[in-house]
Structure 1
Amino acid sequence: MRYINTLYKAFILAVLLFGSVVSPRVLASVVENAAVLRSDTLSDTLPPFEQLIRTAEYKDASSFNLPAQQGYWLLFNLHELSPKQDHILYLDGAQIDTVKYYLLDSDFALLSSASHRHGAYLDKIIPHSVLKSGSNQSWAALYLKHSRSSQLAINIVPEQAFYNLVEQRLFTVSALTVLLLVAMAISCAFYFLSRRIKFVYLFAYLLCLLVGMLASKGVFIFIDTTIPVSFAVKASAASFIAALGFACMFFMRSSYGRREIIIARVRLPLILLTVFGLSVIANTLTYDFAIYLLMTSFIAESAILIYLYMQWKETKPSCSSIYFLAWYVIIVQAVVWQLTLMLQLSSHLLNDILIVINTCVFIGTVLIQDRLRILQYNYNLLHDDETALPNKKLLLNCLQSKVKLSQPHSIILFQPAILLDARANFGYEHANEQIKITMAKLAHQLSVMNAEKIEATQLKSHYIARLDDSTYAFVANGKLELSQIEQFVCVTMAVFAEGISHNSNHFVNKVDIGVANYPLHAVNAEQLIQRGLQALSVKPLHGERWHMYDAQNSSLSQYRLEVASSLKEAIEENQLRLFFQPQICLTTGNLHGAEALLRWYHPTLGHVPPDQFIPIAESSGMIFELTEWVVEQALAYQKEVQAIYPDHIISINISAKDLLRKELPVLFLTLLNEYQINAANVMLELTESATLNDGVNIKTALNDYRLIGLKIAIDDFGTGYSSLAYLSKMGFDEIKIDKQFVMNIEYSKNDQTICRATCDIAKSLGSYVVAEGIEDIQSLKRLKSFGCEIGQGYYFSRPLAFTDYLAWLENNLQTHTKADIYQLN
């Protein structure tokens, strides 16, 4: 409130400055004994003053009541004026239709008047006549006539005092003009910043206020001396009526937003437009009718203003005093404008004071509203909307201040999993309430530990920040000590172990935690948060509750990111290659087919194994592009191989994620028709773990491929948990024994048992068996004895590039057809 009181004091000081128009002291002996003569003759004809002065009525002209439509002569005796200085006879603050001055000698003969120093316009603003010293001027005659009764103030003052008065009047007009122009500029700035229509109404109010003030003070007459006085009065009244209308619209938009105000089933803007239209029409009518119409418009808008105030007071009774002041001063201003119109005062001290107060209060109200809005905006920038916790930016500020002071600290990030589930199942409101309750419990525990206050206010201190929808953080002070970190982890775990209750349901919560330390792991605040997030992203193994940042894991993550970013480029720039590993029938020695194996050699990363980039492609969403490339290349190569070996079977590895996409069967069907390839010669290989993820959907998808004619193989059999019932339900055409059971088959009884059982299972299900990883003759003989039908491995051939595979294929067809399989190498 201190700055508001200061603002008020400044306003009062400005008002005093603007209102310091002190009228010079009247020469009472001359003005108070003026001879008043009523006359119906024209002002151009001087009456016989010498005869009439004996019967004239003497009155105090310093406050003269001029009746309507009556001409009056006022005669002033100038003998009492000082002969050593010039004097000015003037009408103070009056706008009269007819004002004429005459200077007479002692015999009442007309003398020529002296020229005025301030130009003709000054006669219109402040009607006056210069009384020169040292001349034979003995009498001053003043003729007055006006269409309405008016109260006049006639003064005679020394010339310098009059010019001081003129300067004060001009200063007042200039100061009021500058004040209103500055206020208009402020309202324009607010509109362009916020695009809120209420600031347009405020600008229009101030503009109409400026126009009305200038018109009431005769400035338009200064621009054009031919403008009638009555027109200036009517124009100023119409401008003030328009200002009141825009003030009503401003209050309506400020108090009610976009809500429309309806009075007697008519919208408020239409009523105000009608009232303003009446004031415009009044300017075209005669003066008497115009005044009545303008007064009616003023009364109507004042009633609307009071109605809006009563409505606002009922809906917002707890607003600050400056809002009430804004209503009060505009209502008082409306009353003063009406009195001004009724009393025919063109410049009134109270009117000027109210213009200053009104302008300052309106702009002050806007500034206070905007300040509150800015404070709220700044608060929202640094706090989470849902939980009111400090956000990442405030956390970053806290960390940066500690880094600047070189204070060691650790950031502890955690992700409570159950809170996200609660939001999905119970709604945002309940989940956010649970977040607040749980975080308050944790903050209470942290307050008695060596935790840093991320934000400290007079009302509350915050220890926890919310980085995103699921990640929270707090800061532990001091050097890195595992015992201290364990203590923080235990407290966090304990708080979330209580779980969440909803409608008699209790859900136990779990938390993933990542820790990073300054200066051990990072050199600045941004890097510290990044390292903490990297520690948080490590998958928990063997019951681990939290992870410390590890540079090796970070390097691996960087490598994965680089692989992911380079994979799309590899597909587009044809950096990928397909290699083929032959599959041999163990009973006949004939070529059965080949498995297409994807290889990637990157210019900077070097050779990237499939078991690295395939999971990255799946997680990054590029697996379908990769699979599409593999299918297109494999089938194109299969077409060339069929020209040499028509019964050749190509085996293509397919990701389970791609298998469920509806576009893949369409792609196979299109390419099979394009290349004229028999679908039965294409084998799709699926890993056992992939087929176990969603058995129902996988089985439905497999049926789509079988309708095309493709064959299905289960790859790496034995590494998952397939049951006989599962294998029977899926109906695989081929079962591949993983190479880990083949490579050591001569020395491991368990591997022998698994291979024998697999062959028996496949035979019972009507599938044939392919053994991977055959590297010697002994393994081959044993697998053949178990009933294994197809083999592949280094014993037959390494994976070959396509051109090398074609050469190998042609060589083996010529020299080893129907040959003893044990001689193949």
Structure 2
Amino acid sequence: MDPGGGTESELSRVNQALKTLSAGNRTLLRASQEQDLLLGMCRVIVNEGGYRLAYVAYAQHDEQKSLPIMAYAIQRDIPEERDFFDHLQLTWADVELGQHAPAIAVRSGEPCIGRSLLTDPGHAPWREVAIRLDYSSLSAFPLPIDGEVVGALLIADSSPDAFDEAEVRLLGELADDLAYGIANLRSRIKRHEAEERIARMALYDSLTGLPNRTMFRSRLQSAIVDGRQKHRPLAVLLLSAMHFHEISDTLGYQQADLLTCSFARQLEDHQREDRFVACVGDAEFALLYPDMDVSQAMRTAQDLIRAFSSPVEVGGLSISVGLCAGIAAFPGHGTDPDSLIRRARMAMFEAKRRGSDSAVFTPELEQQRTNRLALMIDLRRAIEQKALMLYCQPKIDLATRRIRGAEGLVRWQHPAHGMIPAEEFVKIAETSGLITPLTYHVLEAAFQQIYAWHDMGIDQPLSVNLSARDLRDPALIDKLKNLFSTWGTRPDWIQFELTESALMEDPVGALDAIRRIKALGVELFIDDFGIGYSSLSYLHKLPVDAIKIDQSFVMAMPDSAISAAIVQSTIELGHRLDLEVVAEGVETESAWNHLVALGCDTAQGFYMARPMPAEQFRNWQVHYESSLH
């Protein structure tokens, strides 16, 4: 490992903190409203500084000494994460639940630096959530105004080594600047105007002017009481703009804010006398309809979706966005505000998942969510206990029928549910921050297996898959170097496979990552070739050694002339680029013979061998090689 890596890492973090401080100062100069300042500063910390989370919480002097979050920004749009911070209730009281960093910063008036969410007892109530959402360390800075600490700025990071001395000094300056900005804004208006504004912030969304989540919840509570007394139903609709965060990432959050305001104005234009509408998130709106059943709510949702189907003008651009709706009804889907809102959101995300424009809550959705959460917890435990299994599927030379190597595949035998499909738990890992620990576990198992094979005289390379997230992992190269050094692995003993779709998520960043991996001397494969969107010019730049034709084309060859033509063209293209061509999904002798006739190099599939536990590979090899004679 590079002995200078730590210094470079510290310098990088200091540079990021300097960049954040500079961007924060620009936000201070532009902000004219306090809520805009808070939200803008949180976004700067996350977007410019690269931190995992930033939020500002204000200390209330009520009986509970509550510490509500006034604004926050998160690095990834995970529904569970948004739900968590939307409903998180904190206190700064000196009690057991008030031993977290922001509360300590408020009480002491001093920064609380480098607290570990994984070991610190003060954060035990949130440890499980922190693990799931990939938070490792955090720091909190007090916000003093006129001798009184009015709140705290919290910054969290995925790295347990964040917040060194130089970095903390710069972030402390940022917190001081934020406190100054808050004080400066407050000083511009009279006391009664400030009190009015604070009251409005508590009940109205500062961006759209619509009622916010707090007021919607209060109105929903009243409607539930009325509905219970009169034995009448009510419906909650949660509307969300489709692909909003992709638009925000592409055009910037200022244009995204304009889009949210445009939707808000249209909803106000479609206002019905008995309806109540609130803005509860980024381009996300909650609507309350008293005395409405599920079928009426579905028709209403369809009417609204049609009304919003026309392109929207945003910053001089005409954008087709559209809405999707989630529906929950009282009393069948819940009898309290939080349950109805949460279940309407579940239905909304289910509609997005299915690609439909609306969905109604069902108990199965909640059970699926519960099951998925349980699997997420079990998967983390399985990774930590190294309970996942390494399987191998051989790759066979089509011309000689000799073994060319094997692909390493991860399998999970759940103690209660049996074998969990790989695509299911890998997707859970990708959306829960577990993909990096999962990849590291597979890499460690693969290097260990390679050593065992070569100790037994098996001279076959093993290939391992890397995801798009892995390519963005700044620690990946150091991890690989450490494994090569630990096991004495030669570069020709291991190969890496990268899916075409992963490469296209960030072509420039992926190209840089691939070049650094290739510098280790290993062979690289493009997996699932043909189903992504890469251009030939981009493919030509990649320092890869082989392409793997996606199994969907290979399996369809006997029945589809188009698939057969794609396979033939891909083989010819690969050879013209001096690349080895591997065909996946070879399940029949007919497919094998067809590939031989086309001059394909290597085959992989059930026809030769199914994936097998790595420890069985030696016996399979002996039996297979004896069958060739």
- Name the TM-score, length of structure 2 as normaliser: 0.62
Aligned counterpart in structure 1 of residue 236 of structure 2, from 383, 386, 411: 411
- Aligned position for 1:114: none
> Deviation digits for residues 46-70 of structure 1, max 9, x if unmatched?
xxxxxxxxxxxxxxxxxxxxxxxxx
> Deviation digits for residues 539-589 of structure 1, max 9, x if unmatched?
548984333334444443333333223221111122211011122222223
Aligned counterpart in structure 1 of residue 440 of structure 2, from 622, 628, 631: 628
Structure 2 residue 293 is matched with structure 1 residue 472: no
- Aligned position for 1:574: 386
Count of residue pairs the alignment pairs up: 446
After TM superposition, the structure 1 = structure 2 runs for residues 676-825 of structure 1, keeping only pairs within 5 Å, are: 676-813=488-625, 815-816=626-627, 819=628
- State the Cα distance separating 1:424 from its structure 2 match: 10
Conservation of the 8 A alpha-carbon contact between 2:327 and 2:360: yes
Q: Look up the SS of the partner of 1:735 in the other structure.
A: strand
Give 1:533's aligned amino acid.
Answer: R
Give 1:445's aligned amino acid.
Answer: H
- Aligned position for 2:267: 442
Distance 1:438 1:722 in 2: 35
Distance 2:466 2:64 in 1: 58
> Deviation digits for residues 447-497 of structure 1, max 9, x if unmatched?
34xx34xxxxxxxxxx22233454321111233254564345534764695
Conservation of the 8 A alpha-carbon contact between 1:418 and 1:508: no
- Aligned position for 1:671: 483
Distance 2:510 2:503 in 1: 6
- Aligned position for 1:20: none
After superposition, the Cα gap between the structure-2 partners of 1:535 and 1:542, relative to the gap in structure 1 and judged at 3 Å, is closer
After TM superposition, the structure 1 = structure 2 runs for residues 345-356 of structure 1, keeping only pairs within 5 Å, are: none
> Deviation digits for residues 4-46 of structure 1, max 9, x if unmatched?
xxxxxxxxxxxxxxxxxxxxxxxxxxxxxxxxxxxxxxxxxxx
> Deviation digits for residues 633-682 of structure 1, max 9, x if unmatched?
10110111123345311110110220232311221122112212211232
Distance 2:62 2:553 in 1: 77
- State the Cα distance separating 1:610 from its structure 2 match: 1.3
- Structure with greater contact order relative to length (CA < 8 Å, sep ≥ 6): 2
After TM superposition, the structure 1 = structure 2 runs for residues 226-625 of structure 1, keeping only pairs within 5 Å, are: 381-384=202-205, 387=208, 389-404=210-225, 405=228, 406-416=231-241, 439=264, 442-448=267-273, 451-452=274-275, 463-480=276-293, 482=295, 485-487=298-300, 489-491=302-304, 494=307, 497=310, 499-500=312-313, 502=315, 510-538=322-350, 540=352, 544-625=356-437
Give 1:706's aligned amino acid.
Answer: K
- Aligned position for 2:44: none
Distance 1:587 1:417 in 2: 50
- State the Cα distance separating 1:685 from its structure 2 match: 0.7
Conservation of the 8 A alpha-carbon contact between 2:308 and 2:322: no
- State the Cα distance separating 1:701 from its structure 2 match: 1.5
After TM superposition, the structure 1 = structure 2 runs for residues 34-113 of structure 1, keeping only pairs within 5 Å, are: none
Give 1:528's aligned amino acid.
Answer: L
Distance 2:65 2:567 in 1: 76
Give 1:394's aligned amino acid.
Answer: M
- State the Cα distance separating 1:419 from its structure 2 match: 8.6
After superposition, the Cα gap between the structure-2 partners of 1:480 and 1:725, relative to the gap in structure 1 and judged at 3 Å, is same
Q: Look up the SS of the partner of 1:763 in the other structure.
A: helix
Distance 2:507 2:435 in 1: 21
Distance 1:673 1:190 in 2: 58
Give 1:477's aligned amino acid.
Answer: P
Conservation of the 8 A alpha-carbon contact between 1:500 and 1:509: no
Q: Look up the SS of the partner of 2:393 in the other structure.
A: strand
After superposition, the Cα gap between the structure-2 partners of 1:432 and 1:809, relative to the gap in structure 1 and judged at 3 Å, is closer
- State the Cα distance separating 1:531 from its structure 2 match: 1.3
Aligned counterpart in structure 2 of residue 644 of structure 1, from 444, 456, 460: 456
After superposition, the Cα gap between the structure-2 partners of 1:539 and 1:732, relative to the gap in structure 1 and judged at 3 Å, is farther
Q: CA RMSD in A?
A: 3.9
Q: Look up the SS of the partner of 1:742 in the other structure.
A: helix
Conservation of the 8 A alpha-carbon contact between 2:326 and 2:348: yes
- The structure that has the greater radius of gyration is 1
Distance 1:190 1:464 in 2: 29
- State the Cα distance separating 1:709 from its structure 2 match: 0.4
Q: What's the % identity of the aligned pairs?
A: 27
- Aligned position for 1:87: none
> Deviation digits for residues 175-223 of structure 1, max 9, x if unmatched?
xxxxxxxxxxxxxx999999xxxxxxxxxxxxxxxxxxxxxxxxxxxxx
Distance 1:655 1:763 in 2: 26
Q: Look up the SS of the partner of 2:482 in the other structure.
A: helix
After superposition, the Cα gap between the structure-2 partners of 1:419 and 1:496, relative to the gap in structure 1 and judged at 3 Å, is farther
Q: Look up the SS of the partner of 1:547 in the other structure.
A: strand
After TM superposition, the structure 1 = structure 2 runs for residues 147-158 of structure 1, keeping only pairs within 5 Å, are: none
- State the Cα distance separating 1:611 from its structure 2 match: 0.7
Conservation of the 8 A alpha-carbon contact between 1:578 and 1:802: yes
- State the Cα distance separating 1:375 from its structure 2 match: 9.0
After superposition, the Cα gap between the structure-2 partners of 1:527 and 1:812, relative to the gap in structure 1 and judged at 3 Å, is same
After superposition, the Cα gap between the structure-2 partners of 1:791 and 1:423, relative to the gap in structure 1 and judged at 3 Å, is closer
